[in-house]
Amino acid sequence: MTEKQWLRSADAEAMNRFYGERLTERKARLLMLAACRRHPGPLAHADVRPILDLLVSHYADPRAFDAPFTGRHLSGAYRKIERHASATDNGPERGLAFGLVAAAEPVSMMRRLKEDFEYLVFSCLHDIAVGVTEDRNTKKESKAQASLVREVIGNPFRPVALDPAWLSDTVVSLARQVHGTEDFGSMPILADALQDAGCEDEAVLTHCRDPKQSHVRGCWVLDLILAATADSVPAQTPKRKGPATRRQKGRT
């Protein structure tokens, strides 16, 4: 994949095939969660919402990109959503449920199944796209997912190096507020603050100001800023095809 293709792609699965082996656990999880949270209705289920809150809280801090998803309470929550997905008959809800199963799959389970994050992200995106479209035209959903890939990953062909001079008190305060509340309406204001601090990087400023860009937890610009801050990063919980692909390594 070329840079031009990456920037214009409407095929999230192709982007994942290109970049997936470089995904950190945190970025992979947040990308999958963002794809799930595009469709919040079914995710309000009593067996589903707790795992969302646990995952968002666990992966909130961009400085802990390799902290694994482990623990007895987390494993128990995972088993609940796996049972919920298996028992769900409704097509869209089933696709979302199995997408969340992929997003929450413990590393220990991945090792037993010989899965990696590239495959796990593929499974999540595929199950959601096929589920919510009921196996009809998945192009619209894949286009939205592709935008999420760029939101979380950025442009891998031109990684941005943060200049410490950009980290004014206003920039850090705004970034922490947006990250903690998930109120992304202030991203253009963050761009103004960055520019006032001396940032002239077009990719950073454009990303913050783009009215068509949907921002999510894991936004590459916010991560760039917050990963360089000394203080702890707030971790506020978010506001209130089928499963066969999850267990087969071959793809169709």
User: Can you tell me the distance from the alpha carbon of 100 to that of 97, in angstroms, rounded to the nearest whole number?
Assistant: 5
Q: From the CB of residue 196, how many other CB atoms can be counted at a distance below 10 Å?
A: 12
pLDDT at 244 over 50: no
Map out the domains of the chain as residue ranges: 3-154+241-247, 164-226
pLDDT digits (tens, 9 = 90+) for 174-189: 999 999 899 999 999 9
β strands within 144-227, DSSP E:
none
Q: From the CB of residue 234, how many other CB atoms can be counted at a distance below 10 Å?
A: 13
Q: Which of 110, 103, 83 is nearest to 39 (CA)?
A: 103
- Write out the DSSP string of 59-111: T--TT-TT-----HHHHHHHHHHHHHHHH--SHHHHHHHHHHHHHH--HHHHH
Distance of CA 105 to the CA centre of its chain: 14
pLDDT at 238 over 60: no
pLDDT band at residue 233 using 50, 70 and 90 as cut-offs: low
Q: Which residue has the tokens 């096929």?
A: 130
Q: What's the pTM value of the predicted model, to 2 decimals?
A: 0.86
Q: Kindly list the distances between the CA atom of residue 177 and the CA atoms of 15, 208, 222, in Å, as whole numbers in the listed order.
A: 30, 15, 10
User: Can you tell me the distance from the alpha carbon of 139 to that of 242, in angstroms, rounded to the nearest whole number?
Assistant: 17
Distance of CA 110 to the CA centre of its chain: 18
Coil vs helix vs strand at 2: coil
User: Which pLDDT score is estimated for 210?
Assistant: 95
pLDDT band at residue 6 using 50, 70 and 90 as cut-offs: very high
pLDDT band at residue 67 using 50, 70 and 90 as cut-offs: low
CA atoms within a 13 Å half-sphere pointing along the CA-CB vector of 201: 20
Question: Dmax of the chain from CA atoms?
Answer: 54
pLDDT at 90 over 90: no
Q: Residue 197: is it exposed, middle or buried by C-beta count within 10 angstroms (0-12/13-18/19+)?
A: middle
pLDDT at 91 over 90: no
